[in-house]
Amino acid sequence: MSTLNSHVLRLKDKISLSLSQKTEDGPGDSSPLQKGLFMFIGDRSVCGEGVGFGAPALDCPEGVFFSTYAKIQERSGQLVKSFSINAFQRKTWRDKFPIDTGFYLAVERRLVKRYREQERYRNLLSYLIKLTSILGFKLSYQGVQSKGSVDVSYQLYGNRLMVGVDTSGLADREYRNLLIFNEQSAAFDLYVDSFSKVQGNNIGAWKEILSAKACLTNQDDDVTFCIRNIPGTRLFCGRELLRPRLDWAGFCYLVPSSVKQFEYEVEII
């Protein structure tokens, strides 16, 4: 068993997936977070501000907790990244002053609901997000005592990425749901499932998927990744492009806290 700083899994042609222990300094909302697998085409990353394939978070009664520290190991031919769940998501001004009071959160919930569910409000609210970013309001991540670790394993079989999630390392079992993100950049701007075909901003943010299978395509690079609904979980899809803060498209599994081990696959075409 050896600890690695980074590792690359190579697919066919020029596509590869990279796993790293490093976080990034930058203006994007995800910059301080530990990521899953980034997709590269040649030497060029197509992950944007997405958190990669197989990145966990915990939905707890007091908010959502993420990872800013992790380590990578090899176990029985698999890459395993242990994500320490050690950071609480907050809204701040100038990265220092919390603004997520009860009043702010109540207003935000109403705006987010409209942003996600009503397309006619989306452009207006996007401009509002851009304005608040210019004024210095953004997501920040406050370090907390770790709630334990989530181990995520990654293994390639041809063009299929097998992802295994083990929550037995969590000391705090009081969370509501485990969130497993599978994101790349907003260049994946064509969504297709059994019922619909949607492009660009019409994809929206975190809509629940009822189809058995759903795909996102980067049309410029002619690459697609697909994911399947799994009984006992819920699956959501979203896309947001508002550089430099937001540049992602992907899927998120919502897994009940009663499930300690969870497996799924990402098909890359």
pLDDT in tens, the chain (269 residues): 344 577 999 997 799 999 999 887 776 888 899 999 999 999 999 999 999 999 999 999 988 999 999 999 998 889 999 999 999 987 655 555 555 555 444 545 555 555 555 555 555 555 555 555 544 555 678 899 999 999 999 999 999 999 999 999 999 889 999 999 999 999 999 999 999 999 998 998 889 999 999 999 999 999 999 999 999 999 999 998 887 778 999 999 999 999 999 999 999 99
The predicted pLDDT at position 24 comes to 79
Q: Fold for 3-88+147-268, please state it.
A: Beta-galactosidase; Chain A, domain 5 (2.70.98)
255: Cα within 13 Å, side-chain hemisphere: 23
The predicted pLDDT at position 210 comes to 96
d(CA 134, CA 105): 20
The predicted pLDDT at position 214 comes to 98
d(CA 125, CA 116): 10
The predicted pLDDT at position 56 comes to 98
Sign of the alpha-carbon torsion through 190, 191, 197, 199: negative
- Cα-Cα-Cα-Cα dihedral of 141, 247, 27, 149, to 10°? 30
Burial class (CB in 10 A: 0-12, 13-18, 19+), 118: exposed
The predicted pLDDT at position 3 comes to 47
